[in-house]
Amino acid sequence: MAQKKIPMRQCIGCQTSRPKKELVRIVRGPTGEISIDAVGKKPGRGAYLCPDPECLKKAQKKKALERSFEQPVPAEVYEALAVQLSRTAGKEAEDAQE
């Protein structure tokens, strides 16, 4: 039986390819707002990050989100993403302990 294909995506921070489900999708919606897409189904242009705050810092330093979304990204958005990523990382750590 053929092995099921696993979709791979590249982290815009560290440039490593990982399975799509291991990464966090950040989406620019049709109206231009930027948010984390927890489900992976929001409409708009998406970019993927490892659930690691260091990858977000690297992406900010390289202006990877600006390049992916083809628009300037304010510092407040990076701060909000950092808070949401830390919550996501904390939740995954709790799930791993159970």
What's the CATH architecture for 9-97? 2-Layer Sandwich (3.30)
pLDDT one-digit tens code per residue, 44-94: 999 999 988 899 999 999 999 999 999 999 888 899 888 988 877 666 655
Please report, for the chain, the start and end positions of each structural domain, with discontinuous segments joined by +: 9-97
Tell me which residue of 84, 83, 93 sits closest to 25, measured CA to CA: 84
User: Parallel, antiparallel, or unpaired: how do β-strands 17-19 and 34-37 relate?
Assistant: unpaired
Residue type, 22: E
What pTM value is reported for the model?
0.82
* Nearest-10 Cα torsion for 72, 76, 80, 85: 60
CA atoms of 89 and 95, how far apart (whole Å): 10
